[in-house]
Structure 1
């Protein structure tokens, strides 16, 4: 499960970057846009994917949907981290494991077992217990961001799993197509902002986007690699990644950004580690 660990690390570093954007007055959306050509170039030059096989109409549609969702949900993740913090955003983002895990059982025909159900139950309890005190009131407009992140991330996880099922196009080629589409969508939106007088270009945002793109690419790449290795147990990858990000994200939020941790949070982090251990048992098939 080394790929899952690397994906967890990259995901948390992405969250840290978003937190620092607000601190250093960096335009997060511009950074998000510049992260996609960076990710596309890394994918192309590092893996040199075979692009000779043209995607069909269905595959192009899938790529376009994923690209649009990635750039949109990435924006809302940034807004959620800026307004609600790393821990609450990680909880909202990774609680979305309900969606891909259910899809593994209902769409990808994975058979649920008692040990897996117990592990998921403990994991969900851990995520709930890891919520920061006093920050679960969704009456405020800003607190709708975590809900958007919840649903969007879950749908993206399901679609990314579909990419691993494509037989004619390597997943690295699929990533190049998706990141390239996201690049065009992103720069098109910046052009619209420029033409309407709403864009004030920040060079530091472009550099921040390059860094963001490196770790964004890493998180998705190693996530898909883990799904390929554990193709018969996608729920294990989903759950381990989600719970791991919440755990590490909570630790970083508390230690680096001084977010408060209650006794319930401590219990939640312990339960998260237990859940990860259970879901990775050899008999959890």
Structure 2
């Protein structure tokens, strides 16, 4: 449970970075690209003394991990395009509701976690989806809400792409955790390989944008990459450890992770940025607490304090 809590807190720290980037004129795209370099260095420095890192292209999991790294970058680009063309609400809902994909795979395909879900657990999953939707529901500004049917066209595929990419990447993470990370000794190697894939894909995209004259490297982005990269790696690493601790049970971990991030982020936004919640938001957060209890009541009952 400690790893899950740490992953939630570190993920909220990532959101704080994104919230503060415009204030300090940090180029978000460049910070994202360079943050994966910081992620890699962070993971490499945290390697246990008895371990070394190298990429073994003869292993199946190596190619899966590199592909996941590319998936991270693609998902980010889809999220940005969807936010600009379809609005924040639609994109946020697509992102958070994607948890249904890894949850269903964990329950019905991987059958991980060593426990059978009962009616209360399934009710908690349904409430979790409702809670995520209500908690992220926002009224769009006039300019953003003005998107009409004529402007939609193929843009409607963008939030669908966000939904699918987040769901697929999280499902593959869970699969790799079950299939290729039976013990903690491989967690760092797999994580670093994923990050390496993201580094290569990110720099290729950045190079293309520089050649086209769309980007000029900013030193502010380097600073933003450091504040983003360290918690980014640690949040992902602790999420893998949490999945391992719960036997790869994504049906348990992912709903708690998503809801936990929403709850902590809402509290942080209210305290530090004076953001207010609408009535649906408040109902959603209340349902989120109920959903957490229903999804995890067996594990919570077994905890010893």
Aligned residues of 2:62 and 2:190 also touching (Cα < 8 A) = no
TM-score by length of 1: 0.86
Question: What displacement does 1:190 show?
Answer: 1.9
Q: Distance in 2 between matches of 1:149 and 1:157?
A: 12
Aligned residues of 1:18 and 1:78 also touching (Cα < 8 A) = no
In structure 1, what is the equivalent of residue 131 of structure 2? 126
Matched, 1:247 2:260: no
Q: Distance in 2 between matches of 1:153 and 1:193?
A: 24
In structure 1, what is the equivalent of residue 118 of structure 2? 113
Within a 5 Å distance, the mapping from 1:1-285 to structure 2 comes to 1-48=1-48, 49-51=51-53, 54-56=56-58, 58-77=60-79, 91-110=93-112, 111-135=116-140, 147-164=160-177, 165-166=179-180, 170-231=186-247, 233-282=249-298
Question: What displacement does 1:16 show?
Answer: 1.9
Closer, same or farther in 2 for the Cα pair 1:283/1:197, shift >3 Å?
A: closer
Q: Distance in 2 between matches of 1:34 and 1:278?
A: 40
Q: Distance in 2 between matches of 1:283 and 1:145?
A: 37
RMSD of aligned alpha carbons:
3.0
Instruction: Could you list the structure 1 runs, at least 4 aligned residues long, displaced by more than 4 angstroms after superposition.
Output: 76-85, 87-91, 136-147
Aligned residues: 284
Closer, same or farther in 2 for the Cα pair 1:53/1:125, shift >3 Å?
A: closer
Larger Rg: 2
Structure 1's unaligned 5+ residue stretches are none
Question: What displacement does 1:150 show?
Answer: 2.7
Question: What displacement does 1:91 show?
Answer: 4.4
Q: Distance in 1 between matches of 2:299 and 2:13?
A: 32
Q: Distance in 1 between matches of 2:286 and 2:103?
A: 22
Aligned residues of 1:91 and 1:246 also touching (Cα < 8 A) = no
Q: Distance in 2 between matches of 1:150 and 1:53?
A: 30
Question: What displacement does 1:200 show?
Answer: 0.7
Question: What displacement does 1:199 show?
Answer: 2.1
Structure 2's unaligned 5+ residue stretches are none
